[in-house]
Amino acid sequence: MWVLAWNFQAEATYYHRQTVHHEHSANMENLLPENLLPENLLPEVVPEVLPEVSQPVNSRTFYGIMFDAGSTGTRIHIYKFIQKDPVELPVLVNEMYHAVKPGLSAYKDKPEEGGNTIRALLKVAKKTVPEHEWKQTPVVLKATAGLRLLPEEKANALLDEVREVFGESPFFVQNNSVSIMNGTNEGMPFCWYVTNISLILFYTRKTVGILDLGGGSTQITFLPKSKKTVFTAPASYIANINMFNNTLQLYTHSYLGNGLVAARLATLGALGADVFTSSCLPKKFREDWTFGGITYKVSGIPDGYAGYKLCYYEVMRVVKGIVHQPFEIKGSSIFYAFSYYFDRAVESGLIDGSRGGIVEVRDFKKRAKEVCNKMTKYRPISPFLCMDMTYITCLLKEGFGFKDNTVLQVNKIFSLTRLNQYIIEVK
């Protein structure tokens, strides 16, 4: 959902606020002050259709359609922009969100069926975008870890099918409108850019980090405050971005194969046995489980022990030594956590699903212990909940190296519209 909006919203935001000037040094030693993130800027959970704002007379309206093809589902984001004045850039005023499951990668052997999921979502777009706007409304699909994990020929067959479906649609299809995002682009999400461009321009100049946990991959992105973070990180983890006539060095990386669902498969195989069993699953659990179009037989350990400690040991073998720990990650930075961080926090009762919530890393650990030691109680929610919560805990602590008291603002997805409404209010 990031690329299309980047070209409109980020530029429009900068244009409207270019009269606000802040000294911003490229020196990474002491880049940002230590003031707290304003509570009223925390994003909210996005409903499927967000409320419109009033449209000025003589304004022009533009639409854009973005498909986010993830490993566990395909999501469509339909953006509405208004150009209030001919000399100004469009401003995002509304977005619509809809999703279908499973993701495109599940159709690796049936690309035509994968194409039909795109057709179904395009019908939603046709109902949302006025017919007279169809021809000039661009449509783009960006695939992430799910397709990157597939053999190249199968991934290309799915992409070709999507291109054919796009060609049948009445919308504007540009060159390279269908593609797979590489790890760097996926690791540097648009929500980081828009969130922090707003904070720097409008309020505190303090940025926040972004954590995203998908099915096939997980991402971390933040602006380092210390040169040591940049110097000690792998070269591919540092991306240069231009912001306000300065080049900033962003720490960003996407770990392919370390998404929540991919980590389940790795954890199930952590014991090295032919049968996929785990101490993270209820003892009497027996089920066929499908990931990436392949079905596995998984179970708990019938005559063995289960619980948090044993589960943590299994999961740690999947995380330890694979995930890089940035030098300054144990500081007091605030991070926004999205996607499966939100889903599992809601399912385990850690936060309210209607608005998201603020938690500390230690809260995930505490709830993971409770879930794993009372698997029977939580099994109706998900037999994998112990494994998932333990993986999240291990990823945050053993993987990235966060401290127990690191603050996380947990939300399902990022709302461009709500952020834009905040920008309008402070203008």
Distance of CA 255 to CAs 211, 237, 294, 299, 312, Å?
A: 12, 11, 21, 27, 20
- CB within 8 Å of 21: residues ≥ 6 apart: none
Distance of CA 44 to CAs 40, 48, 74, 408, Å?
A: 10, 13, 21, 14
- The owner of tokens 């909210």 is 44
- The owner of tokens 């499951």 is 101
| Cα(216)–Cα(155) distance, integer angstroms | 14
| Cα(226)–Cα(150) distance, integer angstroms | 37
| Cα(164)–Cα(172) distance, integer angstroms | 13
Note the residue count of the chain. Answer: 427
CB 342 within 8 A of CB 356: yes
Residue among 42, 38, 14 at smallest CA distance from 415:
42
CB 155 within 8 A of CB 162: no
Is residue 218 part of an annotated ligand binding site? yes
Cβ density class 228-254: b for 16+ within 10 Å, e for less: ebbeebeeebbbeeebeeeebbbbbbb
Is residue 217 part of an annotated ligand binding site? yes
| Cα(234)–Cα(243) distance, integer angstroms | 23
Is residue 269 part of an annotated ligand binding site? no
- The owner of tokens 């990668």 is 105
Catalytic residues, by residue number, are 186
| Cα(101)–Cα(117) distance, integer angstroms | 9
CB 333 within 8 A of CB 406: yes
Adjacency order of strands within the sheet including 294-300 = 276-278, 294-300, 286-291
Tokens of 169: 């649609």
| Cα(197)–Cα(195) distance, integer angstroms | 6
Residue 223, class by beta-carbon neighbours within 10 Å (0-12 exposed, 13-18 middle, 19+ buried)?
buried
Residue numbering of the annotated binding site for ATP: 215-219
Residue numbering of the annotated binding site: 215-219
